[in-house]
A and B are shown apart, each in its own frame.
Chain A
Amino acid sequence: MARREVGEINAGSMADIAFLLLIFFLVTTTMDVDSGIARKLPEKTEDTPEVTIKEKNVFDIVVNRNNQILIEGDQYVKVTDIRRLTMAFIDNGGGIGIPKDDKPGEPCDYCTGAKDPASSDHPSKAIVSLQSDRGTKYGMYVSIQNEIEGAYTDLRNKLSLKLYSRSYDALLSDYKDTPTEKLKAKIDDIKDKYPQIITEPEPIK
């Protein structure tokens, strides 16, 4: 019986086949990371307790259907001004903060603002209100949200650099790599000092 030798299979074209597949996957792959502005919606509750908020503690931003922005009811501004104005408002520290655990409210000792008595009392009391029109462009709305978010981030970064000589963003990314209790306490402290209080009233019809 003559044994037939099995001829060697030519592997020379393997690279070509692999290349073909490679190119296919290269073309079809989408490596888009979904990123965006994160927001937490307020919970819906049956009974909302009546709270009196001083007018000076609310920073009113109104945007109409022509994408024009009105601040505090009398100032017509551009999107790029919002960050500066919001920061000045939150960081004003003209009065005392909200009472915590039976302790009376204290004046803001970390604020660097103008301490104008006509503006917000304390970052814990400062409320940013964004009222939009139903016809406002979504792009505009996102831009304003972005600027408000930016104002808080800038303030937190500044305070964090002063207290811990590391920016808030850096703390957050550190925490992601090595979640320790100490870092968490730092982050919570900063968050607590500049809490994000944003309200969105009913849109203008």
Chain B
Amino acid sequence: MSKFRKKKKGLPKISTASLPDIVFMLLFFFMVSTTMRETDLLLKKPVLPTASEVKKLEQKSLVSTIYVGKSKDSRISGDKIQVNDKIIDVNDVTSFIYSERALRKEEEVKFMTTSIKADKDASVGTILDIKEQLRDINALKISFSTVKGTNLKTNY
């Protein structure tokens, strides 16, 4: 009798020996997919406008980003432009693109895209100025960075 009872007693323990393996797998996944933030924003984080007809930017290594937004200091009004780690004047956009081009191979230059990450409250004038600068140096591929969504009401 007692032999039978012993068998039924308790659930078998779940082996946790493979737990570290699973966790390591996840760990490696996140380590590989993570991208450390390269630039510290000196501006207020731009609130991107919403758009429905968006295209994903391919080849991240060929994208140079220009940020447009308000200064963190609320006493300073007007739109500020940031590239890499500093706030620049509109006229310096060209030199930024030149320096970005210098980092790439020559044959890749024509595929380079400029992504404009601008706050939805920024004024179009600033954006048009940047576009004019980009036209001057033949950096013709641009992308207005947006959040994908269908509610355009939040934009204005």
Please, how many angstroms separate the alpha-carbon atoms of A33 and B55 in the complex? 10
Are B115 and A203 in contact (CB-based, < 8 A)?
A: no
Q: A28-B36, A36-B115, A37-B54 are in contact. Are A139 and B49 (CB under 8 A)?
A: yes
**CB of A121 to closest CB in B, whole Å:** 26
Are B56 and A138 in contact (CB-based, < 8 A)?
A: no
Chain A residues in the interface with B (C-beta under 8 A)? 11, 14-15, 18-19, 21-22, 25-26, 28-31, 33-44, 67, 79-80, 132-143, 145-147, 149-150, 153, 200, 203
**CB of B126 to closest CB in A, whole Å:** 8
Are B53 and A153 in contact (CB-based, < 8 A)?
A: yes
Are B56 and A142 in contact (CB-based, < 8 A)?
A: no
- The answer to whether B20 has its CB under 8 Å from any CB of chain A is yes
**CB of A28 to closest CB in B, whole Å:** 6
Q: State the interface size on chain B (CB cutoff 8 A).
A: 58
Query: What residue in chain A is nearest B123 (Cβ atoms)?
Result: A135
**CB of A145 to closest CB in B, whole Å:** 7
Are B120 and A18 in contact (CB-based, < 8 A)?
A: no
A-side contacts of B135, CB under 8 Å? 41-44
Please, how many angstroms separate the alpha-carbon atoms of A11 and B19 in the complex? 11
A-side contacts of B115, CB under 8 Å? 34, 36
- The answer to whether B87 has its CB under 8 Å from any CB of chain A is no
Are B142 and A34 in contact (CB-based, < 8 A)?
A: no
- Stretch of B2-10, B96-104, B145-153 on the interface side: B145-153
A-side contacts of B119, CB under 8 Å? 138
